[in-house]
Amino acid sequence: MAVEMGPEMMFEFLYNLPAQFEGCLKMDFSKASGLKKEYANIVVTGLGGSAIGGDILRCYCQSRLPIPVVVNRDYMLPRFVGPDSLVLAVSYSGNTEETLSAYEDAREKGASIIAFTTGGKLAEMAALDGNPVITITGGLVPRAATGYLFAPLVLVLERLGLVSGASEDVKETVTVLTQLREEIEPGREEDSNRARFIAGQLYQRIPVIWGCSSTSEVAAMRWKGQINENAKAPAYFNVFPELNHNEIVGFEVPEDLVKKLAVIILRDPDDHGRITKRIEITKDILQGKVSSVAEVEARGNSFLAKTYSLIYVGDYASVYLAELYGINPTPVQVIDYLKARMAE
Ligand code: PA5
């Protein structure tokens, strides 16, 4: 998506994230009501900034829904998709080729489909097929539209009677983000601004972001993606406890490169007690090996508020990091180039 905007635009997008959630609470999802039925599974299909909302939904539903929620980032859907599946096809532009292909696959497999998009071919195809199209606000870059790309998914599931309490969780997210914003926005100096402080730790280093399975894992994934796309820098993520069974062994050599790693651990008060113990031991193992280890603690009560509180700090940190490198966070020329080459 070729949206050419100056560096200050990304801060404006970030500032407006709570308003995105508020806007979604006012959206009309009645056109999806006809799809109320018992499903065997739910598949969210999308890529990049349009897919990560699917991961948030997957984690959100893990303890709430008796059926699996799967995220598909490919041209074709898994074999299990069929007439008892609900497929949520998400594309900000509406023109991402993998998502359009997966949409066609969903149609061929007889699944119920809802499209979430600003327009493009996805909106056209879904409208032609008589499938509900949830139109989301355009004019942003996908990763800056994370509220619009996630909240409608969970609110539609609420509307279909598949989950309850989602609206309340979205409201709490607005409250938590609005308070947090005061502490991490550009007006706040580094000594009292956690996101700026983190950016300083990541500058000239390779970020390694660790979350915890079922709690902060999606936030860790988002941090990585935002550092890649906003700061145009490499970053890697993993989750506890899995990383204790492989990655943690890999901090020995080459010593000079390991010294360039800056580790960020995303923590949640609801992390399993054994995970908390693992984190403490892991920090001991890393001592003296990596450049730094910093932690960010989730805020709020609900899974959504906590997840987005971690995401918000990472989003701001990635833009501060872009600033430190003198890079415009908004354009993603490499993605545009790839899409153009693929369209040839
Ligand atoms: O951040 C981005 O621009 C990308 O990750 C896009 O979200 C991704 O390429 C998919 O495009 P779309 O969101 O328009 O389907």
Q: Residue 250's domain is classified under what CATH number?
A: 3.40.50.10490
Single out the catalytic residue among 31, 121, 171, 339.
Answer: 339
**Structure confidence at residue 266 (pLDDT):** 98
Residue ranges making up the domain that contains 233: 187-324
Residues 156 and 110 in one domain: yes
Q: State pLDDT tens for residues 285-323.
A: 999 999 999 999 999 999 999 999 999 999 999 999 999
First to last CA, the chain: 16
Choice among 4, 182, 245, 344 that is catalytic: 245
pTM, entire model: 0.96
Residues 129 and 212 in one domain: no
Alpha carbon distances (Å) from 232 to 137, 330, 337: 26, 10, 15
Task: Say yes or no: 208 and 290 in one domain.
Answer: yes
Domain assignment present for residue 169? The answer is no
Q: How much is the pLDDT for 2?
A: 46
Q: Is 171 a catalytic residue?
A: no
Residue 330 included in any domain: no
Question: In this structure, are strands 261-267 and 236-240 parallel, antiparallel, or unpaired?
Answer: unpaired
| Res 190: pLDDT | 78
Does 175 fall in a domain?
no
Active site residue 245: yes
* Consecutive H or E run containing 274: helix 273-286
Where does a domain end: 164, 179, 196?
164
Nearest-5° angle of CA 58, CA 181, CA 51? 25
Q: Return phi, psi of residue 299, to 5°.
A: -115, 155
Q: Which residues line ligand 1 (CB under 6 A)?
A: 1, 46-50, 91-93, 96, 99, 141-143, 229, 332, 335
Let me know if 272 is a catalytic residue.
Answer: no
Asked if 159 and 38 sit in the same domain, the reply is yes
- What is the per-residue pLDDT for 4? 54
The reply to whether omega before 18 is within 30° of 0 (cis) is: no
Residue 25 within a domain = yes
Name the maximum alpha-carbon separation found in the chain: 60
For residue 12, what are the β-bridge partners?
none
pLDDT at 104: 98
Q: Give me 249's structure tokens.
A: 């062994």
- Residues 151 and 290 grouped into a single domain: no
Which segments of the chain have a pLDDT < 70? Answer: 1-5
Q: Which atom of ligand 1 is nearest to the CA of 91?
A: 15
Q: Do 151 and 67 sit in the same domain of this protein?
A: yes
Tally of domains in the chain: 2
Q: 122 CA distance to ligand 1 centroid (A)? A: 14
